[in-house]
């Protein structure tokens, strides 16, 4: 049964139990919010979304109140606007006035609200927030002075990631958000996914910047600076330059990187193909030799850190393959250094990733050879966009270019790594070929595609039938792992990605407000896969050449030394 309420004196139909905010939105009325996140339990903490209920004469929060028969809601009465303005003024009263020096200048919800509410002078002044900057994490910088305590980061960390590295500390005006004992993020259980950055309305959370190091390397004549970019970058970078979500600008990306001055441009998707060669071989090896099953993917560094902290019982199940970023790093600092006559210490490898955790992964001890890091610096998509702007490169004036040999050719299977389900599909295409010696019919596994939290399928490869599952968002991974702990045994292969939807929605991606963007980015990856000729990793000619010239065979000695690793329990404050 529908209810009738009035919104600004106009009768409107609404479902019982519907939130006022949703009804107002449906009417095309935008209500400002700060603490609200769609799909999460409302907290009503910031009061930004107040509307006036004429029936009772009260100001109520639209995000947490449901519709009631006979309500007459005033969405923008003078009283409402004044109340919202006061809320913003109060939030600004103790906020550091350093917008010009803030990483989120121009991308800040608080700044937008202040502008919208015509706040041009300081009416309320309070003692400024003074807190130490937390620079302890390899991936994420915390500036609690800029925090407005909306709690979005706390919710994402606990409900999407099931990590709860941070929470509210103290009470009243002393409240801060921080890790246990208000210590640095580096000793917390933080998995560096960066989803907190994506939901933070201000500059309180940001990625650790590698700008200066890269600039210095580019200006150092003794260094050969090579760059690699992840599969998801080419379909998300466009949004930073005003193009529609899902526009693939791979060619322009190559051209822009060359203009910036990188000596060689390689595609991490090449290494994704390499990962698939190793990972599919490992899967078949484990199935045939009664190894630890289900095998779980290892490409996502947030998932790896989560497993090291919360799921040590599954460490033997995790594929020993390094992630594509690290595989390419290892190949560059060994094979490429050799063929290009460069000392590994003079080869500076930059990775452009959709991810904050890749910064952490790049500096892991396991990811070194003779004391030299395989990856020297990691840029997020957002940082890359800033780099392109800094170098004054007009993306609309560029001509498409290709990446460099010998690590620039890719299959479209590797490209799928950017979306949840992509690693699974790419690995199964190659595993199918290894087992049956024929290509997977239609080269497509529809069941593992899409943005849903969990996808499962049963795949038959010749006389072998395996169960596979794909999860994104670590809370969903935890549910699946709990099922396996409780005796579920029909699964052979699991793909885990920490970020909802996979890397196309990673913590280093453009800060977007467009809810359709994720879908468009995913569609773009599958569109690339539809149209290309090399659709399986085992047909990538450069990968095959690398095996022939250097690595030998998948799971061989050289591979074992360079492309595989192992993980152990990590002691942090859980």
Rounded Cα gap, residues 80 and 22, in angstroms? 18
Q: Give least dist CB 166 to another protein, A.
A: 6
| Active-site position among 239, 279, 495, 542 | 279
**Would you say 99 or 149 has its CB closer to another protein?**
149
Asked if 158 interacts with another protein (CB under 8 A), we say yes
- Is 465:459 a contact under the CB 8 Å cutoff? yes
Rounded Cα gap, residues 78 and 68, in angstroms? 23
**Would you say 161 or 227 has its CB closer to another protein?**
161
Annotation marks residue 43 as catalytic: no
**Would you say 188 or 269 has its CB closer to another protein?**
188
Q: Give least dist CB 152 to another protein, A.
A: 15
**Would you say 486 or 533 has its CB closer to another protein?**
486
3-state secondary structure of 429: helix
3-state secondary structure of 293: coil
Which phi and psi angles does 163 have, rounded to 5°?
-110, -45
The residue within the footprint of another protein, chosen from 166, 199, 217, 562 (CB under 8 A), is 166
The residue within the footprint of another protein, chosen from 130, 171, 290, 397 (CB under 8 A), is 171
Annotation marks residue 282 as catalytic: yes
Asked if 386 interacts with another protein (CB under 8 A), we say no
How many residues sit in the footprint of another protein (CB under 8 A)? 18
3-state secondary structure of 91: helix
Rounded Cα gap, residues 476 and 306, in angstroms? 13
Q: Give least dist CB 409 to another protein, A.
A: 45
The residue within the footprint of another protein, chosen from 4, 56, 105, 170 (CB under 8 A), is 170
At a CB cut-off of 8 Å and minimum separation 6, what does 427 contact?
276, 279, 280, 283, 297, 493
The residue within the footprint of another protein, chosen from 75, 137, 188, 373 (CB under 8 A), is 188
**Would you say 180 or 527 has its CB closer to another protein?**
180
Rounded Cα gap, residues 68 and 51, in angstroms? 14
Annotation marks residue 358 as catalytic: yes
Asked if 43 interacts with another protein (CB under 8 A), we say no
Element (H, E) at 327: helix 324-331
How many CB atoms sit inside 10 A of residue 8's CB?
A: 16
| Active-site position among 319, 323, 334, 420 | 319
Asked if 187 interacts with another protein (CB under 8 A), we say no
At a CB cut-off of 8 Å and minimum separation 6, what does 518 contact?
451, 501, 504, 505
Which phi and psi angles does 446 have, rounded to 5°?
-60, -35
**Would you say 357 or 572 has its CB closer to another protein?**
572
Determine the angle formed by the axes of helices 268-288 and 422-436, rounding to 10 degrees: 60
Asked if 319 interacts with another protein (CB under 8 A), we say no
**Would you say 13 or 170 has its CB closer to another protein?**
170
3-state secondary structure of 346: helix
Which phi and psi angles does 571 have, rounded to 5°?
-95, 105
DSSP for residue 353: E
Asked if 130 interacts with another protein (CB under 8 A), we say no
Q: Give least dist CB 188 to another protein, A.
A: 7
Q: Give least dist CB 103 to another protein, A.
A: 24
Q: Give least dist CB 49 to another protein, A.
A: 25
Annotation marks residue 456 as catalytic: no
**Which residue stretches of 160-293 are H helix?**
195-199, 211-218, 237-240, 250-260, 268-288
Tokens of 547: 């095996």
Annotation marks residue 319 as catalytic: yes
Asked if 574 interacts with another protein (CB under 8 A), we say yes
The DSSP annotation for 392-412 comes to: T--GGGPPP--PPTTS----H
Q: Give least dist CB 181 to another protein, A.
A: 6
**Would you say 163 or 217 has its CB closer to another protein?**
163
The residue within the footprint of another protein, chosen from 116, 159, 167, 401 (CB under 8 A), is 167
- Is 172:206 a contact under the CB 8 Å cutoff? no
Q: Give least dist CB 107 to another protein, A.
A: 27
Annotation marks residue 383 as catalytic: no
| Active-site position among 207, 240, 278, 282 | 282
* Span from 18-26, 67-75, 158-166, 220-228 in contact with another protein (CB under 8 A): 158-166
Residues involved in catalysis: 279, 282, 299, 319, 358, 361, 366, 503
Provide the binding-site residues for another protein, judged by CB under 8 A.
158, 163-171, 179-182, 188-189, 573-574
């Amino acid at each position: 049964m529908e209810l009738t309420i009035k919104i600004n004196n106009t009768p409107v139909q609404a479902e019982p139990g519907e939130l006022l905010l949703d009804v107002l939105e449906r009417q095309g009325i935008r209500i400002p919010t700060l603490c609200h996140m769609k799909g999460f339990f409302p907290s009503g903490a910031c009061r930004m979304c107040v509307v006036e209920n004429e029936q009772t004469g009260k100001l109520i929060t639209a995000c947490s109140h449901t519709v009631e028969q006979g309500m007459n809601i005033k969405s923008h009465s003078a009283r409402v606007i004044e109340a919202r303005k006061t809320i913003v003024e109060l939030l600004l009263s103790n906020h550091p006035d350093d917008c010009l020096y803030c990483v989120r200048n121009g991308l800040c919800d608080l700044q937008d609200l202040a502008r919208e509410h015509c706040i041009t002078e300081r009416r309320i002044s309070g003692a400024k927030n003074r807190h130490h900057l937390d620079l302890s994490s390899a991936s994420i910088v915390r500036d609690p002075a800029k925090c407005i305590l909306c709690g979005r980061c706390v919710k994402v960390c606990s409900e999407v990631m099931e990590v709860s590295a941070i929470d509210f500390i103290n009470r009243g005006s002393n409240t801060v958000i921080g890790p246990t004992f208000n210590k640095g993020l580096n000793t917390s259980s933080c998995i560096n996914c960066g989803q907190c950055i994506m939901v933070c309305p201000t500059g309180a959370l940001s990625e650790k910047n590698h700008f200066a190091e890269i600039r210095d390397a580019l200006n150092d004549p003794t260094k050969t600076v090579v760059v690699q970019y992840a599969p998801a970058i080419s379909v998300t970078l466009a949004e930073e330059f005003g193009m529609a979500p899902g526009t693939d600008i791979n060619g322009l990306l190559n051209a822009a990187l060359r203009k910036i001055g990188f000596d060689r441009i390689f595609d991490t998707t090449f290494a994704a193909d390499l990962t698939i060669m190793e990972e599919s071989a490992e899967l078949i090896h484990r199935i045939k030799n009664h190894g630890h099953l289900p095998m779980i993917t290892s490409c996502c560094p947030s998932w790896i850190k989560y497993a090291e902290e919360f799921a040590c019982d599954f460490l033997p199940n995790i594929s020993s393959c390094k992630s594509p970023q690290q595989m390419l790093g290892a190949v560059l600092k060994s094979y490429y250094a050799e063929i290009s006559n460069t000392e590994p210490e003079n080869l500076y490898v930059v990775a452009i990733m959709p991810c904050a955790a890749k910064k952490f992964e790049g500096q892991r001890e396991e990811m070194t050879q003779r004391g030299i890091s395989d990856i020297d610096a990691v840029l997020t998509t957002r940082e890359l966009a800033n780099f392109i702007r800094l170098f004054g490169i007009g993306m609309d004036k560029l001509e498409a270019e290709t990446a460099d040999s010998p690590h620039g050719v890719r299959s479209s299977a590797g490209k799928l790594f950017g979306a949840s389900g992509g690693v699974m599909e790419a690995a199964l295409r190659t595993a199918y070929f290894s087992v049956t010696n024929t290509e997977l019919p239609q080269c497509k596994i529809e069941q593992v595609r899409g943005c849903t939290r969990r996808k499962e399928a049963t795949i038959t490869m010749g006389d072998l039938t395996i169960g596979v599952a794909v999860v994104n968002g670590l809370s969903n991974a935890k549910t699946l792992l709990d099922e396996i702990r409780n005796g579920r045994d029909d699964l052979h292969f699991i793909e885990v990605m920490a970020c909802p939807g996979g890397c196309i929605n990673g913590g280093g991606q453009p800060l977007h407000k467009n809810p359709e963007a994720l879908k468009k980015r995913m569609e773009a990856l599958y569109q690339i896969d539809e149209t290309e000729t090399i659709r399986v990793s085992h047909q990538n000619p450069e990968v095959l050449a690398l095996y022939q010239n250097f690595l030998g065979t998948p799971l061989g000695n050289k591979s074992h030394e360079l492309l595989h690793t192992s993980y152990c329990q990590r002691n942090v404050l859980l």
